[in-house]
Amino acid sequence: MATSERASARPISAADYRRLAAFRHALRRFLAFSEAAARKAGITPQQHQALLAIKGAPSAAGVTVGYLARQLLLQPNSAAELADRMVNCGLLVRGEAADDRRRVLLCLTPSAEKALQALSTAHIRELRESAPVVDGLLELLKPGGAKSHRRQRTAST
Amino acid sequence: MATSERASARPISAADYRRLAAFRHALRRFLAFSEAAARKAGITPQQHQALLAIKGAPSAAGVTVGYLARQLLLQPNSAAELADRMVNCGLLVRGEAADDRRRVLLCLTPSAEKALQALSTAHIRELRESAPVVDGLLELLKPGGAKSHRRQRTAST
DNA sequence: GCGACTATATCGTGTCACGATATAATTCAA
DNA sequence: TTGAATTATATCGTGACACGATATAGTCGC
């Protein structure tokens, strides 16, 4: 069974590995840019993500800890800890939901708004530059990339 | 100066924040998929990244610790520690470069090859599915992105 | 051969997410 | 209503991992 496992049935070509590696490298570069930008703005990368998730939420009146956890793909307790650190940093304020007093509404402070705006401007600029690169890398993996059935027109490479 | 800083000269619209948040959420989802896949294969996400970086490198005879550090955007000492953990796990073997005995050549073991192949297959499949989504989100941020086809050039908000 | 430089390794530290658990608030059934 | 089950958030101890500072080994120019 180990010999004909489905996952190993179709060998990956050297070109596939190169493309995957290049894609992940591009991803890391973007994330590194983002982290550096956040730290330059005086906040941690996770805090930046949290600010964006809150600011980009449908409800403009603040979001709950649970919402933050779902957006950031964190466990609820981790989101509560993150929110706690951000409150201590003066980035967020906690409020209570009127209808359900278990819930805590997280709202950005003015300084957080300011930092997020600057970061968002920089990120939009960066994305406009690097999007074509990522696009190109995704393109290579998408169509007949690892190819198996269809033949693509060989562009040399 | 703080009031008219360049970074804050152009306010970001609510739609921009939503788009940026959606983009980052999609990115986190992909990374979460990747992490879960790696852990299911019995390795850590960083180890998976390292295996891919090594396997996708131009030289097929192993890569140096320094190369690994540059590809993963880590400090050299962190790459050495990562390599150390991977050798202890039986994922890598260290070899010496013939021309420069300071250098260490990292090579995948058979079990690492097997794990990486399975992971790569899963990742290519996942990327083919989620690429259109990421594409769409990038599209929105790219061109005139933040805005609208109609009536841009706004002087207002 | 000697000093400057490069490549890798070691050690102590700090951050952060997690599991387990606790506390508070809501819901629902009887 | 009461009170058990459920949901939302918070607390605490732990572990993984990247880092800075530093150490060691190897190479190169002179």
Per-domain residue ranges for chain A? 15-140
Comparing CB atoms, the residue among B73, B117, B128 nearest residue A8 is: B117
Is A22 an 8 Å CB contact of chain B? Answer: yes
Report the percentage of chain A scoring pLDDT > 90.
Answer: 69
DSSP B8: G
Would you say residue B77 has pLDDT above 80?
A: yes
User: Residue A5 — very low, low, confident or very high, per pLDDT cuts 50/70/90?
Assistant: very low
Q: How many angstroms is C1' of C10 away from CA of B114?
A: 31
- A56 and B138 within 8 Å at the Cβ level: the answer is no
Tokens of A126: 């960066």
State which residue has its Cα closest to the C1' atom of D28.
Answer: B100
- What the block records as the tokens of B90 is 């039986």
Decide if pLDDT at B113 tops 90. yes
Q: Which residue of A lies nearest to B119 if distances are taken between CA atoms?
A: A7
Mutation for A interface: B1, B46, B120, most A CBs within 10 A: B120
In sequence order, the 6+-apart residues with CB closer than 8 A to the CB of B10 are A121
Mean pLDDT of A49-62: 94
Q: Are B157 and B13 in contact (CB under 8 A)?
A: yes
Which of B8, B117, B147 to mutate against chain A (most A CBs within 10 Å)?
A: B117
User: Cβ contacts of residue B119 below 8 Å, gap of 6+?
Assistant: B37, B38, B41, B48, B51, B52
SS3 A54: helix
Mean pLDDT for B135-157 is: 56
Give me the mean pLDDT over the A136-146 stretch.
Answer: 69
A132 or A152, higher pLDDT: A132
The C-alpha angle with vertex B21 and arms to A102 and A120, in degrees rounded to 5, equals 120
Please check whether residue B109 is in contact with residue B103, taking contact to mean a CB–CB distance below 8 angstroms.
Answer: no
Fold of B15-141: Arc Repressor Mutant, subunit A (1.10.10)
d(CA B107, CA B65): 11
Q: Which CATH class is domain A15-140?
A: mainly alpha
Read off the pLDDT of residues B56-65 as tens digits, 9 standing for 90 and up.
999 888 899 9
Cβ contact (<8 Å) for B141 and A128? yes
Q: What is the mean pLDDT of residues B92-96?
A: 95
**Contacts A32 to B, Cβ<8 Å:** 73
Mean pLDDT of B89-96: 95
